[in-house]
Each structure stands twice: as C-alpha cells, then as structure tokens.
A and B are shown apart, each in its own frame.
Chain A
C-alpha cells in the first residue's frame, strides 16, 4: 500500500470514527488527527534509515498507523466527557479528588478497576465464571418468563382474545359441540367474532402436481382469520358462505406449503387441489409463520356436514372469541352464561349442566407450565444468590492482600466513599464481564428449558435474544455486581489507618467466615442431592438402552403407506393392494426382506380391545391388535415360541386365526396350551372368534418403559387396514432406498403417499427423547451447584490461606514441614465438604424417592450411584483445594520473618 493510499484509508476511517466525538468538535477532531497522523507517518519514514537499519518494514508501519487510529478514537470518546471548552480565569487549582467531576472520577474508577482486575487474573477469572453461571441462569429464566408471560402473542390486540371451553357440572372438559358453537356464535352479542378450531391435527393426502404426499391440515370456522385479525397475503380469506352445508370445497394454504409444493405460483389461486381424492379450490395463502395452536399446511373451513359439526353430543371444537372493544372477560362470561342456560332448557338430554367457560388466550396457552416455571424461577434465584455469595466470598478472600494498598490510599487522603466506589466498580466490572458470558450461556440454557418444558409445541414460544433480554442481562449483571461487591467493599474500605499500616499485609479476622462456610456446606449438600438424582436418571437411561425390547431394530427401515378409503373401500381391495406392494418392494434394489404391520412396536400404541378365551367371557383381558404379514416376525426377529405364524394362505375365506404374544397366552390361557384354542375378540359391537395358531415372544408395545402387554397378531389378509407400515430389512444406508420405494408406490397408485420414512432404531431412540431431555436438564442443574460449590470452597480456603500466610511462614520457619502446613488447609477444606456430603446424603435419601416414577430398573437408593456421586464430589473438592494448599506450602519462612 502506498503512503497516499494509506492516508486516504486513514482519512476515511477518521470520518467513520468521527461520530464518537461530540458534534461541535467533530470537524476539528478530524482535521487535527489528519494532520497528526500524516506527520507521524512521514516522520517514521524519514527516520527510518540510519545506515544498515532499514527501519520498520512497511506492514509493521501500517499496523502501527492503524494502532494510532485507536488513539484517535479514544481521544474522540474522551472529548465527550470534557466539561465544555469554556475558560474561566481566577480558578483555584486544586488536586483534591472530590473536586473531580463525578462522571470523570467514575471513569477513573473504571480504568483503575481494569488494572486491578488485570493484576490478579486468576481471581478475576474465577469470579467472572461464578457470576457467569448466576447471570446465565438468570438471563435464561428471564427470557423464558418474558416469552411466556409478557411478550405479546403474534396477533393484534391479543388481550381481546378468549378461549371458550365446555364445562360439565362445573368441571372443565375443554371441547365444545359443533351445534352448541353455532348457537353461541349466532346468539351472543359480546364478541366481534366467535370462531371454532378443530383441536386435533388432521392429515390429508394431496396428489396434485407430482407424487402423493401426506400433509397436515386443520379445520377452522371461516371467521377464525378475522378473529385473529390476520388477512391472507394472497387471495382471499374464507367467506361465511364457505362454512355452509354443501358449499364448494375451498382451502387456504400455508405460506410454507405454497412455496414448497407449488413453487410459490400465484396462478394457483382458483385452481383445484386434490385432497383425499376430492377437489378443493385454493382461495388464498396465509402469511409466513402463521399458526394458531399449531402450524398446518392446509386450512379447511368448518361445515355442519363435516366432522359431525352439527351434532350436539360430539364435543370436538375449541372456541376462540375476540371480545368487543371495551368488553371485559366478566361481561363476556355473563353474556355466554345466558345462552348456556337457554341451551340447557332447550336441549335437556344433551346440555344438562353444560356450560361455557371463557379464559384469556394467554392464560390457556400457559396454564400447564405455570407451576413448573415458578419452581424453576425459585431455583434460578437460588443459583443467582449462591453465585453472588460466592462472588462476595472471592472478593473478601482478596481483601487481606489489598488491605495495605487501601490503607495507603486512605492515608493519602482518599475519602471512604471513594474507596467503596472503587471496590464496587471492580465487582461491577467483573459482573459485567460475567454478564456478557452469561448472556451466551443463558441463550443456550433458555433453549434447553423451553425444550424441557415442551413449550416449543406452543409455537409462539421460542428462544429469543431481544433488547429486553439484553437489558435483563445488563440489569442482572449490575445487580449481581452490587450484591457481590457491597459487603466486601464496605468491609475493605473500612480500614483503620494505624491498624492497617502496622500489620501490613496481614489482615485481621472478619465476621464473614461462618456465612461463607455455611454457603459451601449448603452448596455441597445441594449438588450432592441433584447429582444423585441425575446419576439415577443416567443409570435408568443406560438400562433402557441395553434393554431387550423383544425385537431387533437394527437395519430395519420403516415407512407408512396410507391408501384412500374411497378407492379401497373393502378388505379384498386393500389386501390386494398391500400384497402387491409387498411383492414389488421385495424387488427394489437393496431390500433384503420386507414385511407389513398395522402398528410398529415403538410409538404406535393403537386401540385397546378386549378378548377372552372362548367360554370364559367373565375373564376379559386387554389386548392390542396388530395386522401383520407372514414375514413380520422374521423381519423384526421376534422369536416363535410355539405353533406357526400367519401365512399367505390365511385368507378371508379360510378360518380366522391369530398369533398370541407370550403375555397374551399367559393371561388368556393361564393353565393350558393355547394352540388350537379359540379367542373371542370384542370388536366394537361384534364378537369375532379366532383360532390360536401360534405363540411368539413378547415385545414392548409402545414405550420401552412399559412392561409387555398382551398382543394379538392377525394376518393382514384377514384384517386389512388403510394404513400399514412397511418394515424393510436392508444392509445399505436406509436413506438410499427412499427413492426406489417412492417410485414403486407411484407406479402402483400415484395417489398413495409414502410418509414417516425412518429407521426403527431412530424411532426407538426418539421414543426416549423426553427422558433424555429430563436427564440432561437435571444433570446440568446438578453440575451448576457443584461448580459453584467448588468455587465457594476455593474462595473460603484462599481467604483462609491469605489470612494465615504469615502464620504458616512462621510455622515453617520453626520446622513444620510441607505436609503439615498443606494438611492444615486440606483438613479445613475436607471438613466443610464432609459436613456438606453428610447433609446432602440425608437429602438424597429423602429426595430420590420422588424420582421413583422416572427410574427404570434401578433402586432409588442404589448404593453404587450413591458411592460414585459421593466420590465425584470429593474429587472435585480436592481439586478446589489444590491451589490454596499449594499456595500455603509455598509460604516463604524468610518473608514471614522479615516482616516481623
């Protein structure tokens, strides 16, 4: 870079930096620094070469040039804090610090505290990390509380929104009958709009434009969008006539679905989209990220002739009302109560004691989480206070080392208030550094909390780093800094001159020892309780992972195949389709074996049915039905215990047969061989006799934690459903099979989609998700106090050592050896830990019982967990003792004696 280019760049940078300077001085500042920097560069160029010395190389010079720019920047900032350029004569020149303007002296304090912090990096680091944990937990919790309780819902004037839920004899039963909804909507005068939403997701198959696909849909009354004040971004909203019986089928698309499936084509408006075999006219596209209760790809209008919406005894709608301006919740409730009474009189057989309860939307969305959130908040406040206490402990530990310095400053005339402020500036500075790190930790922790509580499902709650969170982090840091610094500052600044100068660096006892010891003991105890709990959960998780579920999920790929009811109305057509499918799938490259089942062993519980051995109707047992293909047991490696499994020859025309699971055999036929016996299966209103042809091993039917239940396997050729799951054995990466499978299906019927493609192993793994998250959160919650406890222990011992350094030196001078002096410190540390461990073990014995329900195959008082956790706590404690012990044994006898 040539000099002129460099100077050009410098000039530009000066202009960029100039807003740092106060407006009236900006011009002058730029000109002055232009001159100075140009001069500086020339000077360094010309000075450069005494013979043989080429001077600094150009890059170095350039770098130094930019370094000078930082000086210019600092100068600009400094100009801001100058008290005006006016000149007054006759001023008294006084160096006394109280005359220094407040702001400037605070800046001085800040600068000085930076130097102090730098001069003791380890202390500072430990303090910062401690406060990071406190602030991080606080920020996370604040973020969660803010998103849940304060942040406005994403609908305009959301405080007018209320949810209507049915009550029966005063008991809440959330859903409302469609016919009742229509009456409330037409008769009430307290709402601008009263809308209804189907609370369950529905799935529909679209087969327009490319391959068939299962997508999520929801059914809503046409006035939902006006109630939420959300217009579509394209096309029109529903009209009220869309909700009339026999109206043309229309649909609104989500923005995501429109982009993904239809390529964002605006021409799609007015065209038909085939869903479940019927054409729906596309009338509009919703805004991106729009949701209510859930996200859905297609929004279909509620109609009296759909989903039993005209019935008064089928309760399946969730009501959302927007109250009129100025109407209170009480007024609205009174308004609907009148209608409820009228309905009770008009329809006594369905509406007796039925009512409608209105509740604010936010209240409803958050009511499941309130208790948990307040408990968590309490825990977080505790962590924050512990962090403050530890921060104070560390600062106090530094006090003796600084007493001499403070005494000197006091002796030189520093007022006490100034010393307090100086010490506070230090602690606040440390807390701010902790706050910055805490913000990072907190954002991450916030996501963990949200996931743990399962609130992501609400849609409107997501981790955020907003100005509010930043302000919270700043506020918490300042608060933490003051809390942690106040006591040490007052303590430190209250130096007695004669005492302080006499004793030099040797401090005197202060009153905080009991407080700090108590803090360490309680933290050790708390972390031991939490660690034990998390240890038990970790063991449960690993027990589950090594558990034999009764089938072998490895190398099995699964996928759902759903055929439209309209096209395959009866058993023969379904059986035909799935038999063909199985045949073709076996021909796909990479498929070793393929089977079909109506329910996978994980995640697909299915309905409960009742069955009994023939002739013993009083001994009915719960059974779970699975329609399977003959190869199912082989594919999942479920052992055959006796008899045979289903065969292709078991047709509709041949006798109905069933295979029992071992538990089923034991429950239905406790004393006899079930082979050849008849089971009477209660299917809705009919009783179907089935001949038992075999018994297979038990599998865990839905969750790994559940004990195996009685299962009844029927040949899919005798009981075909519209949804079947493929279970494919393969030795190649399962994802590479997807295209071949889709192609096969498209050849057979382009309207049949392949969905939920997943390996059985991943299904097993995700069935443990909730438990994994609980274990992870608890482990994090346990590690936090353990870290804090070790920091607290470190602070106490460090304080102890710095106070007794002189004594230790004297002891060593008098012949005490290293082990003796080190042992003194170590024994003090271990005493505290032992007390904490004893208290903690007591708490753990009492507390882990509460966990009983979450444990799997491990006792609440599992000795090995208790021993391992106690060992861990001691090891961590020993590490925390290491530095103070090391410092104690390094006490130099010479220094101690010199000081005498």
Chain B
C-alpha cells in the first residue's frame, strides 16, 4: 500500500484544497505549481486515501453548457497529513490564500467554502 511522500508540493496541494480550491487548474493557479507537479500529486494523494474526488452536479454543468468537473476534497487522512505537513513546512500556511500569491496574508484561516451541491 502506498504511503504518500510528505513533500512540500503535496502539502501545498492539500492546503490549497483545504482552502477551497478544489479543481485541478484552480489548485494550479492557487499554488503557482506547474501542472506536471499538481496532477501527479493529486493522483498520489488520492490513491493514498488522503483525497477523495467527486463530480459536480449535472444541472450545474448543464446550466453553464459545459461538461461536469471533477473536484477534490480532503479525507480525514488527508487532514491529518496536512497537519503533519504544516508542522514540517510551516511556510505552507503562508503560501496559499485568496489571490494565490505566495506569502499573502492568510493568517486568519478562512472558512472552507461549502461543497457544491449534489444532484
């Protein structure tokens, strides 16, 4: 069974997701990491059970006339891993936030945005 490698990029990804950035490209924009790093990290974390993925509702997608998107959320294991990651790399807390600028003011951790509704 795979154990996720606790790297700085994985931590950033977990943190971004906890901050409400739930889609691949959004996480990319939020963390500033390249796609070649984001996707493997997402896959690894999901395979390790730290993330779960789900699909947004069909109505929502239909309303915008586009295919539904896959979004990610933290599992309890993922939250635990994020905690570990923040202990190891405190900079993670500073790096992801609204405006997705490194070192932005994210002192007050904002409420996670509600998950999109299910069909």
Q: A interface vs B, CB < 8 Å? A: 28, 31-32, 34-36, 38-40, 42-43, 68, 71, 74-75, 78-79, 82-89, 91-95, 99-101
A34, A79, A101: the one within 8 Å of B43 (CB): A79
Known pairs A83-B47, A93-B4 / 20 extra A-B pairs, C-beta < 8 Å:
A32-B53, A35-B68, A35-B69, A39-B69, A40-B25, A74-B40, A75-B40, A78-B40, A78-B43, A83-B2, A85-B46, A86-B49, A88-B49, A89-B49, A93-B6, A93-B80, A93-B81, A95-B6, A99-B3, A101-B2
Please report which residues of chain B, range 7-34, place their CB below 8 angstroms from some CB of chain A when the two chains form the complex.
7, 23-25
A93 partner residues in chain B, CB cutoff 8 A: 3-4, 6, 80-81, 84
A31, A84, A86, A91: the one within 8 Å of B3 (CB): A91
Contact A85 B70 (CB under 8 A): no
Nearest-neighbor residue (CB-CB) of A83 within chain B: B2
Q: How far is the CB of A516 from chain B (nearest CB, A)?
A: 39
B1, B70, B81: the one within 8 Å of A86 (CB): B1
Contact A87 B77 (CB under 8 A): yes
With A36-B24, A75-B39, A91-B1 already in contact, the answer to whether A42 and B47 are too (CB < 8 A) is no
Q: B interface vs A, CB < 8 Å? A: 1-7, 23-25, 35-36, 39-40, 43-44, 46-49, 53, 55, 61, 66-70, 75, 77, 80-81, 84
Grouping DSSP codes into helix (H, G, I), strand (E, B) and loop, the A interface class, with mixed when no group exceeds half, is: helix
A-B contact pairs, 6 of them (CB 8 A): A35-B67, A36-B70, A83-B2, A95-B5, A95-B6, A100-B5
B70 partner residues in chain A, CB cutoff 8 A: 28, 31-32, 35-36
With A78-B39, A88-B1 already in contact, the answer to whether A36 and B47 are too (CB < 8 A) is no
Nearest-neighbor residue (CB-CB) of A97 within chain B: B5
Per the bound structure, the CA–CA distance linking A79 and B43 in Å amounts to 7
Nearest-neighbor residue (CB-CB) of B75 within chain A: A87
Contact A39 B81 (CB under 8 A): no
A36 partner residues in chain B, CB cutoff 8 A: 23-25, 69-70
Contact A82 B44 (CB under 8 A): yes
B1, B25, B53, B61: the one within 8 Å of A83 (CB): B1
Contact A71 B47 (CB under 8 A): no
With A71-B39, A95-B5 already in contact, the answer to whether A35 and B49 are too (CB < 8 A) is no
With A87-B48, A88-B49, A91-B77 already in contact, the answer to whether A75 and B43 are too (CB < 8 A) is yes
A79 partner residues in chain B, CB cutoff 8 A: 43
Q: How far is the CB of A148 from chain B (nearest CB, A)?
A: 47
Number of residue pairs spanning A and B whose beta carbons lie under 8 angstroms apart: 86
Q: How far is the CB of A174 from chain B (nearest CB, A)?
A: 67
Nearest-neighbor residue (CB-CB) of A91 within chain B: B3
Contact A95 B7 (CB under 8 A): yes
Q: How far is the CB of A401 from chain B (nearest CB, A)?
A: 27
Nearest-neighbor residue (CB-CB) of B61 within chain A: A35
With A82-B2, A89-B77, A94-B3 already in contact, the answer to whether A68 and B49 are too (CB < 8 A) is no
B80 partner residues in chain A, CB cutoff 8 A: 93
A38 partner residues in chain B, CB cutoff 8 A: 66-67
Per the bound structure, the CA–CA distance linking A856 and B73 in Å amounts to 84
B6 partner residues in chain A, CB cutoff 8 A: 93-95
Per the bound structure, the CA–CA distance linking A71 and B25 in Å amounts to 11
Nearest-neighbor residue (CB-CB) of B38 within chain A: A71
Contact A43 B25 (CB under 8 A): yes
A83 partner residues in chain B, CB cutoff 8 A: 1-2, 47
Contact A74 B2 (CB under 8 A): no
B55 partner residues in chain A, CB cutoff 8 A: 31
Nearest-neighbor residue (CB-CB) of A72 within chain B: B39
B53 partner residues in chain A, CB cutoff 8 A: 32
B3 partner residues in chain A, CB cutoff 8 A: 91-94, 99
Per the bound structure, the CA–CA distance linking A99 and B23 in Å amounts to 29
Q: How far is the CB of A415 from chain B (nearest CB, A)?
A: 16
Contact A31 B39 (CB under 8 A): no
Contact B49 A87 (CB under 8 A): yes
B67 partner residues in chain A, CB cutoff 8 A: 31, 34-35, 38
Q: How far is the CB of A375 from chain B (nearest CB, A)?
A: 50
B68 partner residues in chain A, CB cutoff 8 A: 31, 35
Contact A39 B23 (CB under 8 A): yes
